Amino acid sequence: MGNSRNTLTLSVIAILFTLATIAGSAVAGNNPVDERWWPSEFGADDQAGAVKYITPEKRVAAAQLVKKGKTATLGMPYYNNMPLVPGRTYALSIPGGGTPTHGPLNWPGQQFDQTFMDELVTAEIGQVGTQWDGLAHPMIRVQGAEGWKDGNYFYNKHRLEDVGSPRGLKKVGTEHVAEIGFFTRGLLIDVAALKGVTRLDKGYAITMADYQAALKAQGVADASQGDVVLFRTGWNSLWKDYNTPPEQRAKDNAEFTSGEPGVSPEVCDHLAARKISMIGSDTWGLEPYDFAKGMPESFAYCHMNLTVRRGISNFENLDMDVLSQEKAYEFLFTWSPLKLVGATGSPGNPVAAW
C-alpha cells in the first residue's frame, strides 16, 4: 500500500521519465557541462533575467507600433474543467452558503442594502491555464558530476537546496521579474496560418525553415533584442470552445495533454542568440511531443536552454487567434507577472496593441 502514490500520480511527466530512460540517446549541445552558463550576463546575483534586455528605446519604439488603436487580450479562459497537466488542480467556487458572500450591510434609512460576492480559488496558480513559467520553475538536476555540488539548479546557478522554502522560494521568485514587467515589441510567428491548418500535428517540430518562411510570408523582420516571440500552432483549438459538452471536453482535454506541436531546438537556439526577452506559444509545454511515439530528443530543450541557462522566460497556453485574424504580426506586448513572492510562475492575460 505504501508505494501506491507512485502509480496514482503517474502523469505525463512520469511517462516522459519512463520514455526518457528507454531512449537513452544524447542530444548535441544539450549537455550543460559543455558551456558555462553562469554568472548571468546581468550579474552573479541577478534574479530577473532576460526581461532586462528591454531598453527604454525599445519601449518607445514598441509604443509607436500602436497605430490603429486595436487591442487583443492573449489569455485563455480559466474554468474548473479546463485541460490541466495531470496532477494539477484548478478549483474555483463562490462562497456563500445560499447567501451573498458578504452582507447585507445597511444603507441607512433605505430599503436598499449592500452585498458583495467573492470567489475562492485553489490552484497551482502559476502553472495552470494561461501561465508564465518564471525562473523558479525549471531546474537542471546534477548528480555526481565532477566539479558540481549535487542538487537542483535554477537560472544563475541558484540551488534549490539553498533557496527552497515551503511558503515560497527564497530566490528567483516571480516577484523579481514582476518588479520590471514586459513592455516591448511582440512578434507573432503564425505557423498554423503558414501551413494552412487549424492546428499543427501533434509532435510537429517547428524548424528554422518554418520560422523564416513565416517571417517572409508575414513581411516582418527577424526577432531583435528584447522582443517577445509568440508561436501560433492552433493547438489550443482543442481547448478554446468552452461550451463543449463534458464528454467531448474530457476527450479534447485528453488529446490536448497527450502531446503537442512545438518549437525545435534550432529555433530556440536562434532566438537565444537574438537575445529575446520571452518566448511563448498556444501550447501547454512549448516543445514538440507525441508521447505515444516515444521520447523526443528535444525534451524540455527550450526550458533548459532558454530559461535555466539564459533567464529567457516562457509563456504557455496563450491565445493568438485574434492576432492571426487581424494579421497583427508586430505589436506592442505589455504584461507583467503578478508579484507572487517566491512563486514559480504567474497566471496572465497580456494585452497586445497595434
- The dihedral through the CA atoms of 279, 281, 285, 289 has a sign that is negative
| Positive or negative: CA dihedral 219, 221, 223, 224 | negative
- Among the residue ranges 100-108, 195-203, 270-278, 310-318, the one whose residues contact a second copy (CB under 8 A): 100-108
Residue 150 beta carbon to a second copy: minimum distance, rounded to whole angstroms: 10
Indicate which single residue of 29, 43, 99, 325 sits in contact with a second copy (rule: CB under 8 A): 99
**352: Cβ contacts below 8 Å, ≥ 6 apart:** 71, 72, 73, 74, 186, 323, 328, 331, 332, 333, 334
The region of 31-39, 191-199, 200-208, 225-233 touching a second copy under the rule CB under 8 A is 31-39
**Per CB under 8 A, which region of 55-63, 196-204, 205-213, 221-229 contacts a second copy?**
55-63
DSSP 173-216: -THHHHTT-EEEEEEEEEHHHHHT-SSPPTTPEEPHHHHHHHHH
CA 178 – CA 346 distance, rounded (Å): 9
Complex with a second copy: residue 212 or 224, whichever CB lies closer: 224
Q: Which is nearer to a second copy, 137 or 232 (CB)?
A: 137
The three grid cell numbers given for residue 307, joined into one nine-digit string: 530559461
Q: Are 134 and 313 in contact (CB under 8 A)?
A: yes
Decide if residue 28 touches a second copy (CB under 8 A).
no
- List the interface residues with a second copy, window 292-351 (CB under 8 A): 295, 297, 299-300, 303-304, 332, 334-345, 347-351
Task: Return the residue of 41, 157, 180, 272 that touches a second copy, per CB under 8 A.
Answer: 180
Binding of a second copy by 73 (CB under 8 A): yes
* Beta carbon of residue 41, minimum distance to a second copy (angstroms, whole number): 19
> Length of the chain, please?
354
Name 105's bridge partners: 114
Instruction: Based on the shown chain and the rule CB under 8 A, indicate whether residue 243 belongs to the binding site for a second copy.
Output: yes
103 binds a second copy (CB under 8 A): yes
Question: Min. distance of Cβ 202 from a second copy in angstroms?
Answer: 18
Q: Confirm or reject binding of residue 147 to a second copy (CB under 8 A).
A: no
Can residue 64 be called a binding residue for a second copy (CB under 8 A)? Answer: yes
For residue 93, the cross-strand partners are: 120
Residue 29 as a binder of a second copy (CB under 8 A): the answer is no
Binding flag, residue 139, a second copy (CB under 8 A): yes
Choice from 41, 63, 197, 207 touching a second copy (CB under 8 A): 63
- Does residue 53 belong to the site contacting a second copy (CB under 8 A)? no
Cα–Cα dist 247/254, whole Å: 11
Interface with a second copy includes 75 (CB under 8 A)? yes
Query: How far apart are CB 59 and a second copy at their closest, in Å?
Result: 4
How many whole angstroms separate alpha carbon 263 and alpha carbon 46? 27
Q: Is 217 in the site for a second copy (CB under 8 A)?
A: no
> If residue 321 lies in a helix (H) or strand (E), which one and from where to where?
helix 321-325
In the complex with a second copy, which residue's Cβ is closer, 3 or 196?
Answer: 3
Residue 83's nearest CA partner among 199, 246, 252, 231 is: 252
